[in-house]
């Protein structure tokens, strides 16, 4: 048998596990969705900064420098003037970005790290490290790739690293980045080494990269995910809890309605029993009264006969008094028996019905001998589960009645047997006696009900028999074609004894 405590724990675990699993799956999905959204948002911001720098590079390359060289070629600018503050876009952007970070700082915003990285820089600050060099190679080999994005961790803080290839080296670039000797003399004088020279047209010679802290974004993702997952968990748990409560209430309601039904049935049963008891009390007092009246009447007659000297009548007066007292004794005995049947019962045993019948016949040997009675007992009587002494009483009563109500029959025949009806075994005691009118087939099982008031007996026997059969969970009834046609008393024994009160 499953332990109810374990069952309860298992169902509780199931109740908690399911929402936990769903909430975890939802949390993972949510986390990815939220962090990817925040990452895209951060990328867009960082991209904007880089594109604005790129715009300035373009302005310098396409507008400022051509204007400058044109002015110089036309003699408007005298000499070989060159200064990176005015003519180098990478120098200008790097410094402009520093100023930009200062502005950000003033606004309380985190700084964004910027670097123009090249394998061949003029200024060593722009020297590409190993990783940046690998990116330059990749962008040169794969022209379809236009950006690189990665979340990196520095000192436990998360950053979004974003890089784009710098402008492809054009013919205009070669003016300052080609052979050293072709470059403006001012530039040559400023940068004595080979750095930044000897570049080739069509080559991506540098990358621009930005690094932005995104720890806050991740924290936001954690908080939002955590809150949503907790919300989902709470909601699922609530739904499940609600369902469970509903089921509990439903089960309890069903239990209660069953209880109410049972109680109503019991109340009805009790009402019937009370009415029966009332009838019983009335009948008992009425039937006990009649021998008492007889005794009282004949005691008076006895006194009178003594007083008047009618001694010849004394014996008959006394006989009437004794008969009435005997009648009362047998009434009280039968009543006692009936009350005993209602109250106590012997433990049920497996017993052969043939043995029960044989026992009853032994007890009735005297009666059977007195009259010419042929009793036939079927050989196929089954074994039953019953209160043995009580069942002997049943058989004894039925066989005795068969003899008692033989009428004018000289050759009394009694058959004890069984038949099967719809899978149910029906036992019977059949006689060829006076028979019973169908109007009284039910009535005869009532207490003190006798069809012939002059007949011997108290009218309690069949009531007793019915009580015993009902205590065994069975039914009893009589079948008779009518007066003079004999009677067959039938009963069933389902084998379960009713609870004894």
Residues that bind ligand ADP (CB under 6 A): 401-402, 404-405, 431, 433-434, 436, 444, 449-452, 455, 457-463, 487
Q: Nearer to ligand ADP by C-beta: 53 or 404?
A: 404
Q: Are 278 and 314 in contact (CB under 8 A)?
A: no
Nearest approach, Cβ of residue 296 and ligand ADP (Å): 24
Q: Nearer to ligand ADP by C-beta: 55 or 342?
A: 342
Q: Are 330 and 291 in contact (CB under 8 A)?
A: no
Nearest approach, Cβ of residue 297 and ligand ADP (Å): 24
Residues 6+ apart with CB under 8 A from 468: 341, 387, 390, 391, 393, 394
Nearest approach, Cβ of residue 499 and ligand ADP (Å): 25
Q: Nearer to ligand ADP by C-beta: 114 or 405?
A: 405
**E strands within 311-469?**
349-352, 373-377, 383-386, 412-421, 424-431
Dihedral angle at the C-alpha atoms of 441, 447, 449, 454, nearest 10 degrees? 140
Nearest approach, Cβ of residue 380 and ligand ADP (Å): 23
Q: Nearer to ligand ADP by C-beta: 287 or 359?
A: 287
Nearest approach, Cβ of residue 351 and ligand ADP (Å): 24
For residue 382, the SS3 value is: coil
Q: Nearer to ligand ADP by C-beta: 206 or 398?
A: 398
Q: Nearer to ligand ADP by C-beta: 381 or 462?
A: 462
d(CA 138, CA 487): 114
Nearest approach, Cβ of residue 271 and ligand ADP (Å): 25
197 — phi, psi (to 5°)?
Answer: -100, 175
Give rounded-to-5 percent helix, strand, coil for the chain. 60, 15, 25
Q: Nearer to ligand ADP by C-beta: 188 or 449?
A: 449
Q: Are 23 and 236 in contact (CB under 8 A)?
A: yes
Nearest approach, Cβ of residue 288 and ligand ADP (Å): 15
Q: ∠ CA(206), CA(209), CA(211), 5° rounding?
A: 165
Query: In residues, how long is the chain?
Result: 501
């Amino acid at each position: 048998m499953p332990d109810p405590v374990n069952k309860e724990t298992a169902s509780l675990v199931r109740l908690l596990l399911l929402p936990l699993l769903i909430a975890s799956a939802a949390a993972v999905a949510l986390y990815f969705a939220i962090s990817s959204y925040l990452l895209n948002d951060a990328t867009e911001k960082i991209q904007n900064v880089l594109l604005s720098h790129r715009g300035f590079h373009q302005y310098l390359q396409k507008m400022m420098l051509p204007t400058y060289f044109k002015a110089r070629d036309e003699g408007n600018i005298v000499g070989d003037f060159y200064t990176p503050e005015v003519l180098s876009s990478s120098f200008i952007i790097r410094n402009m970005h520093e100023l930009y970070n200062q502005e950000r700082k003033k606004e309380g915003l985190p700084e964004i790290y910027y670097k123009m990285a090249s394998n061949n820089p003029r200024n060593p600050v722009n020297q590409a490290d190993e990783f940046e060099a690998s990116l330059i190679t990749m962008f040169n080999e794969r022209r379809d790739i236009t950006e690189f994005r990665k979340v990196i961790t520095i000192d436990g803080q998360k950053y979004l690293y974003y890089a784009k290839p710098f402008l492809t080296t054009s013919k205009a670039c070669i003016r300052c980045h080609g052979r050293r000797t072709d470059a403006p003399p001012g530039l040559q004088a400023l940068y004595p080494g080979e750095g930044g020279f000897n570049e080739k047209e069509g080559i991506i010679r540098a990358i621009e990269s930005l690094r932005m802290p995104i720890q806050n974004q991740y924290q936001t993702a954690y908080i939002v995910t955590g809150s949503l997952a907790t919300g989902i968990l709470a909601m699922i748990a609530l739904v499940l809890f609600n369902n469970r409560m509903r089921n509990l209430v439903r089960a309890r309601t069903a239990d209660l309605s069953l209880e109410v039904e049972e109680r109503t049935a019991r109340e009805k049963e009790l009402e019937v029993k009370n009415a029966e008891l009332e009838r019983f009390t009335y009948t008992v007092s009425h039937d006990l009264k009649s021998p008492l009246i007889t005794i009282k009447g004949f005691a008076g007659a006895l006194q009178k006969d003594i007083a008047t000297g009618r001694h010849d009548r004394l014996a008959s007066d006394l006989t009437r008094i004794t008969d009435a007292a005997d009648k009362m004794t047998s009434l009280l005995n039968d009543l006692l028996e009936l009350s005993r049947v209602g109250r106590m019962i012997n433990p049920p045993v497996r017993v052969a019905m043939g043995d029960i019948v044989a026992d009853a016949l032994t007890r009735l040997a005297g009666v059977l001998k007195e009259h010419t009675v042929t009793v036939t007992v079927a050989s196929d009587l089954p074994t039953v589960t019953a209160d043995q002494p009580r069942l002997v009483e049943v058989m004894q009563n039925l066989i005795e009645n068969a003899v008692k109500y033989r009428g004018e029959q000289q050759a009394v025949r009694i058959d004890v047997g069984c038949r099967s009806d719809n899978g149910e075994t029906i036992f019977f005691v059949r006689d060829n006696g006076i028979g019973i009118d169908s109007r009284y087939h039910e009535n005869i099982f009532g207490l003190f009900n006798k069809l012939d008031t002059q007949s011997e007996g108290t009218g309690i026997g069949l009531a007793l028999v019915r009580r015993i059969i009902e205590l065994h969970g069975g039914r009893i009834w009589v079948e008779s074609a009518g007066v003079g046609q004999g009677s067959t008393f039938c009963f069933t024994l389902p084998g379960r004894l009713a609870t004894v009160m």
